[in-house]
Amino acid sequence: MTQTPDSQPPDPQQPDLESLRKAIASGDPVRAMPALTQLRFCTEEDAVPLLVLGTQQQPFLVRSLSCSGLGYKRNEAGWEVLTRLLQQDSDPNVRAEAANAMVSYGVVRSWELLKNAFAVDQAWLVRCSILSALAEQPDIDPTWLLELSRLAIEDGDGTVRVSGAEILGRLVREQGAAGVGGTARSLLQPLQQDVDHRVVAAALNGLQS
């Protein structure tokens, strides 16, 4: 077919938005998840409404992947949805992905919401995700990491305590013997008697810094 001067060939990487919408709305992970991954080729304006649609589906895998996508395709509508899911979704996998995505909007903006979620959400996966996501941010205030670590080492789950102990060890290495580093060291010392050998190992490693 001859193209007119004003016509343009279709972009092979530009997905068919209506087909993607139908696949996502089906709620079938086999159809919805490949469609969600195609949204990486779309603008925020096109992608976010479809990612939000994905967060409304029943399978947690679809909701989780949609949350992850909202960490890459960011706008205010996506932020509001992530905030709601972090606080209200019934599945810890989804809440954990929402927490990870929220950090992409900036540490300062996400800090209070994530700190509050860490304090009230007892799911180990959510707590570890928050710890990991924030600890990876190079510009985070060390006192914020210290605050989270205090809560983490009191957790009943050994995996969360390990994460808290590892962050305390990092603070000892990076902050020195005074101030935050000194407080972190004092918090590590009792963990040498923890019932979980992984926590003990993390504490010993941190104290050797």
Q: Is a pLDDT exceeding 90 seen at residue 16?
A: no
More confident residue, 196 or 4: 196
Is 8 part of any domain?
no
Structure letter (DSSP) for residue 157: S
pLDDT at 11 over 90: no
The CA-based angle 196-164-108, given to 5 degrees, is: 165
Asked if residue 88 and residue 43 are part of one domain, the reply reads yes
**DSSP string for residues in 54-73:** HHTSSSHHHHHHHHHHHTTS
Structure confidence at residue 205 as a pLDDT band (50, 70, 90): very high
**pTM for the complete prediction?**
0.87
pLDDT value at residue 76: 96
pLDDT above 60 for 172: yes
- Could you tell me if 148 and 119 lie in one domain? no
Percent of the chain whose predicted confidence (pLDDT) is above 90 = 89
CA separation, residue 113 to residues 68, 105, 116, 117 (Å): 17, 12, 5, 6
Window from 14-28, 53-67, 187-201 with minimum mean pLDDT: 14-28
Residues 28 and 112 in one domain: yes
| Residue 204, domain member (yes or no) | yes
54 and 103, same domain (yes or no): yes
Q: Is the pLDDT of residue 22 over 60?
A: yes
Q: What is the CATH number of the domain that holds 166?
A: 1.25.10
pLDDT for the residue 13: 61
Q: Residue 148: give the domain boundaries.
A: 141-209
Q: How confident is the model at residue 177 (pLDDT cuts 50, 70, 90)?
A: confident
Average pLDDT, the chain: 92
Whose tokens are 């003990």? That residue is: 200
